[in-house]
Amino acid sequence: MFTINENYLKLPGSYLFSNIAKKVAAYQEQHPEKEIIRLGIGDVTQPLAPAIITALHKAVDEMGNAETFHGYAPDLGYEFLRKAIAENDFKARGCQVEADEIFVSDGAKCDSGNIQEILGLDNKIAVCDPVYPVYVDTNVMAGRTGAYNKERENFDGVIYMPCTAENQFVPEFPEEVPDVIYLCFPNNPTGAAATKEQLQGWVDYANKNGALIIFDAAYEAYITQKELPHSIYECDGARTCAIELRSFSKNAGFTGVRLGYTVVPKDLKCGEVSLHSLWARRHGTKYNGAPYIVQRAGEAVYSPEGKAQLAEQVNYYLKNAHTILEGLANAGYTVSGGVNAPYVWLKTPGNMSSWEFFDTLLSEAGVVGTPGSGFGACGEGYFRLSAFGSYENTIKAIERITKM
Ligand SMILES: Cc1ncc(COP(=O)(O)O)c(C=O)c1O
């Protein structure tokens, strides 16, 4: 008789977004006349930029012609895209990352979930609290954690690193030394960005302790403060301790197109074993490559027109973030994030719990956000508002919230 992977049973139900959807549906049913504004989403809303659409059309036409048709893509990605990535995302910022250290994929969610497969089950992981849930849940599925602890509302056997107002939402080194450290900057959900010194501190810490950093830079395009690092490879020594995850979702609106990549430097080793070789083996065995059409669209992200149009798109969302940040600050809210990230992280007023504030915001302003407690215990008493809506709706939402 077959058995199941019992680690899956440790996972509590997907409480956060299903609970939000249920509450919003119930409210809308009771108040069909009310217009609800959704600032809870992490999905983009602007259409694909013209340069991307042109590249997509061209690639589709190529697929309809025997001479230019493309079948299976190379499983690590097409050379034209890997070269464009290495040149633009890394060499242009002074980082030593070669095209053959880039593994093209269908997005950072899959990569951030899959990367743990090449690591031993005895590794102890450390994550920020609050956290993008994929890092934890995929380690739970693999059996790298203990049971869910209902009292603490997190998993035994995981090192949670509190990200609080006191440390400006950038974690301190934990008491217990982890084997694998997940870091995400600019951060989802807090919107905090790490400085070069902070990131260098983590790189030095990892190299000293033989730890691996998995650095998620899905939101790097939103960095506005010039001195902040976009890549962990801007830090000395990162090539021997860090893997970096990137996504085309938030910088280019590819959430429905699907494209991302992972950088595994050839200098990254566990004893004599190269992680680059392991990830190449894994990729080659389990993945047949992102579609040609999509990789051509990805290449267009780095064309002069693509760059200009996407900078405009990112600025559109950043303007929303600024509207939220300034509007709420003027109304007396304690707010952070929103300057180098498309998320604003606010302290709930009057010591309300995250869910109490969710209910209040929905019933009094008809605005939906995301309760901070859904991202971890340290998110309790906080709330995330997203800048990915339309400008008109963002203005309207802030007007309503500030009148509450
Ligand atoms: C921190 C973080 N990493 C990765 C992703 C997923 O990116 P992708 O769309 O490339 O799978 C998200 C999406 O919201 C995210 O917030």
Same domain? For 380 and 330 the reply is yes
Same domain? For 245 and 268 the reply is yes
Ligand 1 atom closest to residue 259's alpha carbon, by position in its atom list: 10
Measured in Å, residue 252 CA sits from the centre of ligand 1 at: 13
* Lookup: tokens for 318: 């950043």
Cα 118 versus chain centre, distance: 21
Tell which of 285, 303, 321 closes a domain: 303
CA-derived radius of gyration, the chain: 21
- Residue in 132, 138, 317 to alter for ligand 1 test, most ligand atoms within 8 A of Cβ: 132
Same domain? For 163 and 127 the reply is yes
Q: Where are the alpha helices (DSSP H) in 125-273?
A: 134-142, 196-209, 249-252
Strands 125-129 and 180-184, sheet pairing: parallel
For residue 300, the surrounding DSSP H or E stretch is helix 292-300
Tell which of 252, 286, 303 closes a domain: 303
Mean pLDDT for back-to-back runs of 10 residues, the chain (404 residues): 98 83 94 95 94 98 98 94 98 97 97 98 98 96 97 96 98 98 98 98 98 98 98 98 98 98 98 98 94 98 98 98 98 98 98 97 97 96 98 98 94
Whether 60 is covered by a domain: the verdict is yes
Nearest CA to 121 among 160, 179, 173?
A: 179
Measured in Å, residue 109 CA sits from the centre of ligand 1 at: 5
pLDDT at residue 19, rounded to an integer: 87
Distance CA 399, CA 404 (A): 9
Whether 112 is covered by a domain: the verdict is yes
Whether 277 is covered by a domain: the verdict is yes
Full domain range(s) for residue 267: 52-303
Measured in Å, residue 153 CA sits from the centre of ligand 1 at: 23
Q: Which position has the token pair 């694998």?
A: 180
Measured in Å, residue 113 CA sits from the centre of ligand 1 at: 11
Distance CA 46, CA 157 (A): 41
Distance CA 368, CA 360 (A): 10
Whether 4 is covered by a domain: the verdict is no
Cβ pair 299, 261 in contact under 8 A: no
Omega prior to 349 cis, within 30 of 0: no
pLDDT at residue 352, rounded to an integer: 98
CA angle 43-47-262, nearest 5°?
55
Same domain? For 270 and 291 the reply is yes
DSSP string, 117-133: GGS-TTPPEEEEES--T
- Residue in 135, 187, 249, 370 to alter for ligand 1 test, most ligand atoms within 8 A of Cβ: 249
pLDDT at residue 109, rounded to an integer: 96
Measured in Å, residue 184 CA sits from the centre of ligand 1 at: 10
pLDDT at residue 17, rounded to an integer: 84
Same domain? For 299 and 201 the reply is yes
pLDDT at residue 41, rounded to an integer: 80
Ligand 1 atom closest to residue 109's alpha carbon, by position in its atom list: 11
Distance CA 61, CA 160 (A): 49
**DSSP 8-state secondary structure symbol assigned to residue 10:** G
pLDDT at residue 73, rounded to an integer: 92
Ligand 1 atom closest to residue 255's alpha carbon, by position in its atom list: 9
Distance CA 61, CA 281 (A): 32
Same domain? For 226 and 213 the reply is yes
Whether 294 is covered by a domain: the verdict is yes
Residue 230, domain CATH: 3.40.640.10
Tell which of 243, 274, 303 closes a domain: 303
E strand segments, 132-187: 148-149, 154-155, 159-162, 180-184
**DSSP 8-state secondary structure symbol assigned to residue 372:** G
What are 262's strand-pairing partners? 103, 245
- Count structural domains, the chain: 2
Cβ pair 262, 232 in contact under 8 A: no
Measured in Å, residue 12 CA sits from the centre of ligand 1 at: 21
What is the strand order of the sheet 343-347 is part of? 335-337, 343-347, 382-386, 370-371
Using CA positions, which residue lies closest to atom 16 of ligand 1? 188
Q: In Å, how far are 4, 114, 142 from 1, measured between CA atoms? A: 10, 28, 21
* Lookup: tokens for 102: 């880039």
Helix (H, G, I), strand (E, B) or coil at 155: strand
Beta-carbon neighbour count of residue 77 at 10 Å?
24
Residues with Cβ < 8 Å from 82, sequence gap 6 or more? 76, 99, 100, 102, 104, 261
Q: Judge residue 267's burial from the number of C-beta atoms within 10 Å of its C-beta, 0-12 exposed, 13-18 middle, 19 or more buried.
A: middle
pLDDT at residue 75, rounded to an integer: 84
Residue 186 main-chain phi, psi, to 5 deg: -55, 145
Distance CA 78, CA 90 (A): 17
pLDDT at residue 286, rounded to an integer: 95
Distance CA 96, CA 114 (A): 24
Whether 6 is covered by a domain: the verdict is no
How far separated are the first and last CA of the chain, in Å rounded?
Answer: 58
Strands 212-216 and 180-184, sheet pairing: parallel
User: What's the whole-model pTM score?
Assistant: 0.97
Whether 1 is covered by a domain: the verdict is no
Beta-carbon neighbour count of residue 320 at 10 Å?
27
Which residues does a 6 A CB cutoff place in the pocket of ligand 1?
42, 107-109, 112, 132, 184, 188, 216, 218, 247, 249, 255, 260
Whether 239 is covered by a domain: the verdict is yes
